[in-house]
Amino acid sequence: MTNFSAVRGNFQDTAAQAAQSAGDVVRDKATQAGDVLKQGADRVEAEADAAMKKVRERVSASPMTALAATLAIGAIAGYLVGRR
C-alpha cells in the first residue's frame, strides 16, 4: 500500500507541474496575441489619421468640389435607398 501512495503522490506532483507548465504556455501565447493585436490596432489608427489628414487637405484646397462630391454621393444614396 505504501508503494501505491508514493506513486499516487508522484503522479499528483507531476500532474500539477504539467498543469502549471500548460498554464504558463497559454499565458505567454495570450500575451503575444495581445501584443500583436495592439500593434495592428496602432497601425490601423495611424493609417486612419493619415487618411483623415489627406481628406482635410483636399477639402481645404477645394471646398466647392468637396461639397459637390458630397451632394452627388447623397443624391445617389437617396436614389438607391428610395428604390427599395
State the pLDDT at residue 53.
96
State the pLDDT at residue 83.
81
User: For the stretch 38-74, what's the b/e string if a residue is b when 16 or more beta carbons lie within 10 angstroms of its beta carbon?
Assistant: eeeeeeeeeeeeeeeeeeeeeeeeeeeeeeeeeeeee
The arithmetic mean of pLDDT across residues 19-38, rounded, is: 93
d(CA 63, CA 52): 15
Q: What is the mean pLDDT of the chain?
A: 90
Q: Which one-letter amino acid corresponds to residue 84?
A: R
State the pLDDT at residue 12.
83
Question: Residues 38-61: pLDDT tens digits?
Answer: 999 999 999 999 999 999 999 999
Question: Residues 62-78: pLDDT tens digits?
Answer: 999 999 999 999 999 99
